[in-house]
Amino acid sequence: MRYSVLFIVIALIAAACIAGCTQQQAQQQSQATGGEIKIGVIASLTGPASNVGKNMWQSAQVAGDEINAQGGVQLGASGTKVPVRLIVGDDESTQQGGQKAATKLITDDKVDILVGGYSSAVTSAYQQTIAEYKVPYIVTGASSPVITHRTDIDTSYVFHHCPTTDSYGEYTITFIDQVVRPAVNKKLGASDDRPFRLAIIYQDTAYGKGVQTAVQNTIAKNNLNIVLVSEQGYRMGESDFRTPLTVIKAQNPDAVYLAAFPNEGAPIITQARRDIGLDTIFLNVENNDNAQFYKDLGQYGEGAIIESRFSPYTAPEGELATAQENFKNSYFAKWGMYPDMMGASTYEGIYIAAEAIGKAGTTDKASVRQALVDLNMPEVIEAMKGGKISFTKDYRESQFDLWMEQLAYDQSAGECRPHIVWPDNLKVTGFTLPSWYKPGSA
């Protein structure tokens, strides 16, 4: 009996000691993080890219609210939960603005990790600062592969959570080759050896040139029967595209591929169809899957194609459809509008940051970087290769599953709405050439 009592007393003392140690460890962890985890979000709140930038920042806040509603980020397997605090840096859609925003977030706000970045040109401009201070940075918008491939500075703390221009350039050209080209040949009654006449209009920045290069490389690498009949560059933020479109029309293209931001893409298509009479298929990069883009396009968007991975107005069927719907509903409830694709990847970026800090059990930047290198978390709202978010070992790029949408005019909405037409396992309808479509001719 006496031994039993003694055993229970010893056990209680041991349990108290363990609990005390755990509590002390949790307190130390909490103190080490300053009682909160500071996540800096770099977004274009002003300037030409403000539409997308605001969407990114607002999406980040939805993620932050959700994480804090769950008590915050759990540091380590048995650690305490610490809330996250998001701090925004406005890059003003300019390189100078980006430099200011990154410097302020790192040196004044002393953020633990960075998420965001939209324009590749702007993001590249402040990467030196990221390298100097060694702050983990999850880039969720800037799509030029240069962001993590460049060798002039240390990019080891930069992680790319969005498809690169290489990915969607290759994906879109494959779609053209396998779907659009046969459809055009069928309409013309032409044989399969008729070269497909493709024109490109691109923003003259790292992003636009990246898409242009990816298109050229994909055609050359796969020896595709696609010929580039016109390649027209323009300055970022341009609003008058009538002259380059006149040049493109003179080359009689079968389709036009746009490497543009939404505030440029909508005017390009509108001016082409309304003012130039260029009645062709316009293929758009994924960042144009944006509610404002649909609004600005009006009926002129009919028949256009968007390569996508998240849309405000559609989703592939499956488990992720519910997750996407929940995100859209949460976003709409908070902001009264729908999120766009860059918002979706930024929303995920916050979850990735939280996961990495949680796994590292600390906000020590080198440890968080290592946690990002080792990351293998379930996909959140966007379809990832293998259903997991992880970064490639060479250039720290996550791998997305993409799809192609075709726009159809919706009378009740007064705008176009997207329908997934490719690949076969995701499509809800087939690609069609609009009745007004005019194929090119040599």
Kindly report the backbone phi and psi dihedral angles of residue 282, in degrees, each rounded to the nearest multiple of 5, phi listed first.
-105, 125
Shortest approach of another protein to residue 441 CB, angstroms? 15
For residue 419, give both structure tokens. Answer: 């329908």
* 98 contacts another protein (rule: CB under 8 A): no
How many positions of this chain bind another protein (CB under 8 A)?
34
Q: Which of residues 4-33 bind another protein (CB under 8 A)?
A: none
Nearer to another protein, 40 or 48 (CB): 48
Least Å distance, CB 238 to another protein, is 7
Residues facing residue 410 across a β-bridge: 415
Smallest gap from residue 209 Cβ to another protein (A): 11
Cis preceding linkage at 145, omega within 30: no
| Interface with another protein in residues 221-250 (CB under 8 A) | 232-235, 237-244, 246-247, 250
Q: Which residue has the tokens 């046969």?
A: 182
Alpha helices for 274-364 (secondary structure H): 291-297, 319-335, 341-360
Output 76 or 237, the one with its CB closest to another protein: 237
- What is d(CA 116, CA 53) in angstroms, rounded to the nearest whole number? 9
Alpha helices (runs of H) in 33-161, residue ranges in sequence order: 50-69, 95-103, 120-125, 127-133, 146-149
* Among 429, 354, 344, 352, residue whose Cα is nearest residue 383: 344
- Distance (Å, rounded) from C-alpha 381 to C-alpha 323? 5
Q: How far is the CB of 250 from another protein (least distance, A)?
A: 5
Among residues 59, 80, 140, 271, the one that binds another protein under rule CB under 8 A: 271
Tokens representing 214 are: 């990816």
50 binds another protein per the rule CB under 8 A: yes
**One-letter amino acid of 265:** G
* Min dist. Cβ of residue 244 to another protein (A): 5
Minimal distance, residue 153 CB to another protein, in Å = 26
Tell which one of 48, 339, 358, 440 touches another protein (CB under 8 A). 48
- Selected binder of another protein within 89, 253, 267, 316 (CB under 8 A): 267
Cβ distance to another protein smaller for residue 241 or 327: 241
Asked if 275 interacts with another protein (CB under 8 A), we say yes
Between 242 and 385, name the residue whose CB sits nearer to another protein.
Answer: 242
Min dist. Cβ of residue 263 to another protein (A):
4
Question: Which residues neighbour 34 within 8 Å (Cβ) at sequence distance 6 or greater?
Answer: none
Q: For the beta carbon of residue 191, count every other beta carbon within 10 angstroms.
A: 7
List alpha helices for 137-241, DSSP H.
146-149, 165-175, 181-188, 206-221
Min CB(194)–another protein separation in Å: 24
Binding of another protein by 140 (CB under 8 A) = no
Distance CA 174, CA 186 (A): 18
3-class state of residue 259 by DSSP: strand
- Angle of helix 341-360 relative to helix 319-335, nearest 10 degrees? 100
Which DSSP letter does residue 257 get?
Answer: E
Residue 47 within binding range of another protein, rule CB under 8 A: yes
Residue 167: half-sphere exposure toward Cβ, Cα within 13 Å: 22
Burial class of 434 by CB neighbour count within 10 A (0 to 12, 13 to 18, 19+) = middle
Give yes or no for a contact between 276 and 249, defined as CB atoms under 8 angstroms apart.
yes
Residues 277-336 that bind another protein (CB under 8 A): 277, 292, 296, 298
Query: What span, in angstroms and rounded, lies between the C-alpha atoms of 255 and 132?
Result: 44
Taking the complex as a whole, the smallest distance from the CB of residue 411 to another protein amounts, in Å, to 16
Chosen residue from 186, 187, 274, 388 binding another protein by CB under 8 A: 274
In the complex with another protein, the residue whose CB is nearer, 271 or 363, is 271
Could you give the CA distance from residue 429 to residue 86 in angstroms, rounded to a whole number? 40
Could you tell me the smallest distance in angstroms from the CB atom of residue 98 to another protein? 16
Q: Closer to another protein by CB, 74 or 271: give it.
A: 271
**Residue 44 beta carbon to another protein: minimum distance, rounded to whole angstroms:** 10
> Given the complex with another protein, which of 54 and 181 has the nearer CB atom?
54
**Contact pattern for another protein over residues 152 through 191, marking x by CB under 8 A:** ----------------------------------------
By the rule CB under 8 A, 338 interacts with another protein: no
Rounded least distance, CB 130 to another protein, Å: 27
Residue 48 and residue 401: Cα distance in Å, rounded? 29
Site string for another protein, 188-217 (x = CB under 8 A): ----------------x-------------
Burial 231-244 (b: 16+ CB within 10 A, else e): bbbbebebeebeeb
Point out which residues bind another protein (CB under 8 A). 46-48, 50-51, 54, 204, 232-235, 237-244, 246-247, 250, 262-263, 266-267, 270-271, 274-275, 277, 292, 296, 298
